[in-house]
Homo-oligomer: A and B are copies of this chain.
Amino acid sequence: MEEYINNLKNRYATKKFDVSRKLTADQMQLLINTLILAPSSFGLQPYKFILVEDAQLLEKLREACYNQPQVTESSMFVVLCYRTDINEKMVDNYIRKISEVRKVSEESLEGYRTGMLKAIESMSPEQVQTWASRQVYIALGFLLDAAAQNKIDACPMEGFNKDSVDEILSLKDYNLKSSVCCALGFRSSEDEAAKRSKVRLEEQELVITL
């Protein structure tokens, strides 16, 4: 437990990556598996993750990210997106998948199916997007935590021109919108940000016991 907390204390939003150090295939797969295994409301996974490897796309993304160097200098750059096609068809596909994996009839899942549809239909299109985007943030939390616990450095990035990123990656064609980005790799020994003390509210400022 102590090591777990120490790993969280050692993590920070990496500003300068070591461009000479790359994640291994195993490390990348660990991070991808973490994204796959992240929990979401109803288990619906209303998101997709864009792993950007093309150097030209990364250059363009860097501009859309207000020229933050982490975009091109990290070893792995992920754009976490929420789906814009959250509808009955998506729910039906999910129900079919549950039925296959758990070897139960689709009929036996009808109550679950109706519950999901009701929840989705009770929201405005904008509320559905807000809900989906929140689920993306659970996945972001899992990704950052997996990195920290496995000695990988990361920088989550919320500050970017979303419309530009969506256009550069043609996200509309995938029925996606960008929610948040994350650069991953290894910190440079020259990253001044690594030396700064972590600033957090005290427990008594943050936790209320009732």
Residues of A participating in the B interface, judged by any CB pair closer than 8 Å: 1, 4-5, 8-9, 11, 13, 26-27, 30, 32-39, 41, 43, 45, 47-54, 57, 94, 97-98, 101-102, 119, 130, 133-135, 137-142, 144-146, 149-150, 156, 158-159, 169, 174, 196-201, 203, 205-210
Contact = CB atoms under 8 A, between A and B. Distances in A.
Given A130-B130, A199-B101, A38 B141 contact: yes
A6 to B, nearest CB: 10
Contacts of A200: 36-37, 43, 45
Given A39-B13, A206-B49, A208-B48, A201 B97 contact: yes
Given A141-B138, A197-B102, A206-B48, A4 B36 contact: no
Contacts of A133: 134
Question: Assembly of this chain: how many copies?
Answer: 2
A24 B7 CA distance: 21
Contact of A39 (B27, B51, B144): B144
For the residues of A in contact with B, the DSSP-based class is helix
Contacts of A140: 137-138, 141
Contacts of A169: 210
A51 B210 contact: yes
Contacts of A145: 141-142, 145-146
A153 B34 CA distance: 17
Nearest to A38: B141
Given A102-B196, A137-B134, A138-B144, A8 B34 contact: yes
Contacts of A45: 200-201, 206
Given A4-B30, A39-B156, A49-B207, 17 more contacts: A4-B34, A4-B149, A9-B37, A32-B207, A37-B198, A43-B200, A48-B207, A52-B209, A101-B198, A119-B159, A134-B137, A137-B140, A137-B141, A138-B141, A140-B141, A141-B145, A142-B144
